Amino acid sequence: MFSSINVDYFYQEVCDSDYEFMLQTINAFEEYSFKILSSLREKSECSSTTRDNTGAIRLIHMFCGSIGLLGFTEQANVLTQIENRLREGEYDYDETRHNEVCKMIREINGRLDEYLAIIRQGKR
Domain annotation covers residue 88:
yes
Can you give the pLDDT at residue 83? 95
- Answer whether residue 1 is part of any domain: no
pLDDT value of residue 70:
82
CA distance 124 to 120: 7
pLDDT mean over 97-124: 84
Q: Which helix (H) or strand (E) holds 100?
A: helix 95-123
CATH number for the domain spanning 47: value is 1.20.120
**How much is the pLDDT for 84?**
96
Residue 78's domain comprises 7-123
Q: Specify if 117 maps to a domain.
A: yes
The number of folded domains in the chain is 1
97 within domain boundaries: yes
Q: Is residue 84 part of a domain?
A: yes
Question: How high is the pLDDT of residue 68?
Answer: 83
> Would you tell me the crossing angle of helices 19-50 and 54-69 to the nearest 10 degrees?
160
pLDDT of residue 78: 94
How far is 44 from 52, CA to CA, in rounded Å? 10
Specify the pLDDT at position 19.
86
Bigger pLDDT: 115 vs 123: 115
- Say what the pLDDT of residue 124 is: 53
Query: Is 68 among the domain residues?
Result: yes
- Domain assignment present for residue 89? The answer is yes
CA distance 28 to 62: 15
What are the pLDDT digits (tens) for 41-86? Answer: 888 877 556 667 888 999 999 999 888 878 888 899 999 999 999 9
pLDDT tens digit sequence for 18-40: 988 988 888 899 899 999 988 98
- Compute the distance between CA of residue 36 and CA of residue 30 in angstroms, rounded to an integer: 10
Residue 33 belongs to some domain of the structure: yes
Indicate the length of the chain as a whole number. Answer: 124
